[in-house]
Structure 1
């Protein structure tokens, strides 16, 4: 069984998909969620973790650096500080694999090297389209609709320190329908995200096991 750490920022529906799969499979599940780490103190995902009995920590820039230092720091400095704190948590809880399930922090520094090829990220579009800085949540769906795309979906990929870069493991596609809004498009994609995040974890576990 592989220990996984799940990184979150918001509602945690994809975390819930991982929790539900673990509960459904029981002893047959090849992973155990050992910690949930949030870069936002008000993330509802933290409540999901608590309800499931999973330890959680908050690693926002304020929590890691202090308010004054965080306010005076640039984005890259905050990114590195949060990443280093998350790395310490992952090691403390004995995580073998890291899953970014809606986490908005682009990981940087030692965590990328120490967990090389063992970090996956879920992105709400069909990469390499509509990825990069600023492409998260509804911003992605708005961009897809503005571009007149005929389909969209989600991608699970290896996180390599870039923003939405890295080898693709899983993609799920949905049609873009006439009259779609960012909300209706998201509603169609969300169930596919829940499938993809579980499939991505299972694929990564198989790859990791082969490396031994």
Structure 2
């Protein structure tokens, strides 16, 4: 089950996937390529160390925002087809996808988000912004969600969630650290689930 992973930063979730593949915990999934939308992302170094093809596809800042998103998405679609990807995983990928890519891979693109969606999702909600919003709201728990990517932002059906308590005295950094540990488990579980279900032809494995 060929997988293309999209990244933007350090790549700890990618590393969790790479480790899981070595241990045969990806449900038959095999990472065939890694694409970054940021030059010099350390995630690419992680992939290169495993001899996985790496690609950098930078957003074209000379284009208007909507056109920029479409252009980047089209280039990623090209990479997906070059690597024969069946499943696309967004592992800390910050650009928003749209256009033909979403339709060509409908039900086969998953993303991990650092909150219990549908809470604290949507445009502009990423990284510390999410954790700060959780703390400001007085929530007693948070966590992460792996969901199917659709035409919205963080609006697709949830595959799975993992929860952590919000502790007295938490800061955005301390809450993020606790959630990151759960992300590493969640993204592997979701990738294996998708790979197994796609292989068997039963794709709809969503939570309510």
Q: Pick the aligned partner of 1:75 from 65, 76, 85.
A: 65
Matched, 1:171 2:169: no
| Backbone CA RMSD of aligned residues | 1.4
Structure 1 match to 2:80: 90
Structure 1 residues 207, 24: CA separation in 2 closer, same or farther (over 3 Å shift)? closer
CA distance in 1, matches of 2:191, 2:135: 29
| Highest RCO, 1 vs 2 (Cα 8 Å, sep ≥ 6) | 2
Structure 2 match to 1:14: 13
Deviation at 1:165, TM superposition (A): 0.9
- CA deviation string 1:86-113 (max 9, x = no partner): 0000100110100001101111011111
Structure 2 match to 1:58: 56
- Count the aligned residue pairs: 202
CA distance in 1, matches of 2:151, 2:48: 29
Q: When you count helix as a share of all residues, which structure comes out higher?
A: 1
CA distance in 2, matches of 1:200, 1:106: 20
Q: Secondary structure at the match of 1:87?
A: helix
The 8 Å contact of residues 115 and 144 in structure 2, kept in 1 or not, is answered as yes
TM-score, normalised with respect to structure 1: 0.92
Structure 2 match to 1:197: 187
CA distance in 1, matches of 2:87, 2:194: 8
The 8 Å contact of residues 27 and 191 in structure 2, kept in 1 or not, is answered as no
CA distance in 1, matches of 2:13, 2:47: 12
Structure 1 match to 2:38: 40
- CA deviation string 1:99-153 (max 9, x = no partner): 0011011110111111110010000000000000110011110111111110000
TM-score, normalised with respect to structure 2: 0.94
Deviation at 1:29, TM superposition (A): 5.2
Q: Pick the aligned partner of 2:109 from 104, 115, 119.
A: 119
Q: Pick the aligned partner of 1:142 from 126, 129, 132.
A: 132
CA distance in 2, matches of 1:191, 1:20: 14
Correspondences of 1:151-190 after superposition (within 5 Å): 151-190=141-180
